[in-house]
C-alpha cells in the first residue's frame, strides 16, 4: 500500500497498518476552525496526518526520509529538477520567500490529479525536499468542494 491509498480511509485503518502501528502518535483536535480537524503526529518519524470530524484522512505530511520506501519513493535528497523529471510539469509552483514572523520558506511545486494533489516544498537554502504533503483533491488549497 502507498501513502496515496490512505487518503479517504479512516485514521484507525492507517494506525493499525505497518509500519504505523509501531509508531507513537499524538492526537489533537482543532475546534476553533469552521470545520473540526483531527490531527495525528508521529514527530519522531517526521510524519503526521489530518482528518475531518469523522476521522477520515484528508491530508498526509511527510518531513523525513524515515518512512518505508514502499510507501513513498522520493528521497528527501532529491533535487527540484529531479522531482520535476519524475512527476512532470507542476500544476502550480512558488518561489522561495521569507515571512517576518514565520521565517523562510523554500520554493514549492504542486501536482494536481483528479483525486489527489502532491505538494513538494523544498528547503529554503538547499536544493532538496523539506516536506511532502499529499491531500485529497477536494481539500487542496484553491480547490472547490463538491456537494453531494
Q: State residue 68's pLDDT score.
A: 75
- For residue 124, pLDDT over 80 is answered with yes
CA separation for the pair 59, 147 (Å, rounded)? 19
How confident is the model over 105-112, as a mean pLDDT? 94
- The pTM score is 0.90
CA separation for the pair 42, 48 (Å, rounded)? 6
Q: State residue 34's pLDDT score.
A: 80
- For residue 1, pLDDT over 80 is answered with no
Where does residue 60 rank: exposed (0-12), middle (13-18), buried (19+ CB within 10 A)?
buried
- For residue 91, pLDDT over 50 is answered with yes
Amino acid at each position: 500500500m502507498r501513502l496515496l491509498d490512505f487518503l479517504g480511509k479512516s485514521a484507525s485503518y492507517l494506525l493499525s497498518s505497518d509500519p504505523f502501528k509501531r509508531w507513537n502518535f499524538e492526537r489533537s483536535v482543532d475546534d476553533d476552525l469552521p470545520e473540526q480537524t483531527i490531527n495525528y503526529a508521529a514527530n519522531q518519524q517526521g510524519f503526521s496526518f489530518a482528518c475531518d470530524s469523522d476521522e477520515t484522512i484528508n491530508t498526509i505530511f511527510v518531513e523525513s526520509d524515515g518512512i518505508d520506501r514502499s510507501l513513498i519513493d522520493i528521497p528527501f535528497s532529491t533535487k527540484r529538477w529531479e522531482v520535476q523529471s519524475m512527476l512532470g510539469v507542476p500544476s502550480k509552483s512558488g518561489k522561495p520567500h521569507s515571512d517576518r514572523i514565520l521565517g523562510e520558506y523554500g520554493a514549492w511545486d504542486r501536482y494536481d490529479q483528479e483525486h489527489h494533489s502532491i505538494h513538494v516544498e523544498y528547503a529554503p537554502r538547499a536544493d532538496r525536499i523539506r516536506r511532502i504533503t499529499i491531500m485529497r483533491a477536494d481539500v487542496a488549497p484553491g480547490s472547490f468542494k463538491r456537494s453531494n
